[in-house]
Amino acid sequence: MAITLNGSAGVTTNSGAVYDGISRGTVVTASGTSVDFTSIPSWVKRITVMFAGVSTSGTSNRLIQIGSTTFTTSGYSSYAMLTGSSSIQAATTGVTAGFVMATNTAADVIGGSMVLVNVTGNTWASSHATSLVTTNASFGGGYLALGGTLDRVRITTVNGTDTFDAGSINILYE
């Protein structure tokens, strides 16, 4: 038996439950030039964007954008690095169009996740560590003071024209 606490109707009992510690979106097979997750609740403080074998047709760095009603495409502070054969490589510098994830070749396949956390108000910070088959791994971080309450996440590329051609993407939010 479960209890439902309803602000209007009072206390009732039924067979449902009331709260999910971690909510999961609907998994999306990566295709097109972008993948969107919308209707993210206003109470969310952490979002995990998960990449399972994701690939694109080109070499443009992957980009994660967040938004409030519409996607925000400027104002980010974001950097990413690549682990290389003999050194850590500075792969991106000062990307402002989104939270960037470095890539190197079209053959790169992403496995791993980016975590977005709510610092305070509408300010969000990102951190990621992901595999890239041909260049080992990408890692980086960033932040954005969003103009309103976050309700959406977009996965795309810096040039906006490379297409996703493999893998699946989903989010966890809490």
Partner 1 sequence: MSSVILTGDTSGTLTLSAPLVAGTNTVTLPAATGTISLLTQGTAVASTSGTSIDFTSIPSWVKRVTVMFNGVSTNGTSFFLVQLGDSGGIENTGYGGSGGSGTGGNANSAGFIVSANQAAAGIYSGIATLANVSGNIWVISGTTTGSGGYVTTVFGGNKELSATLDRIRITTVNGTDTFDAGSINIMYEG
Binding mask 84-103 for partner 1 (x = CB under 8 A): xxxxx---------------
106 lies in the site for partner 1, by CB under 8 A:
no
Helix, strand, or coil (residue 140): strand
148 lies in the site for partner 1, by CB under 8 A:
no
CA 7/CA 43 separation, integer angstroms? 17
Stretch of 32-40, 43-51, 66-74, 149-157 lying at the interface with partner 1 (CB under 8 A) = 43-51
19 lies in the site for partner 1, by CB under 8 A:
yes
The distance from CA 163 to its chain's CA centroid, rounded to whole angstroms, is 17
Helix, strand, or coil (residue 155): strand
3 lies in the site for partner 1, by CB under 8 A:
yes
User: Least distance in Å: CB of 77 to partner 1?
Assistant: 20
Structure token pair of residue 60:
């443009």
DSSP single-letter state for residue 133: T
How many of the chain's residues bind partner 1 (CB under 8 A)?
50
Place of tokens 């971690």: 22
Which residues lie near partner 1 (CB under 8 A)?
1, 3, 5, 16-24, 26-27, 41, 43, 48, 50-53, 82-88, 109-113, 115, 128-133, 135-139, 167-170, 172
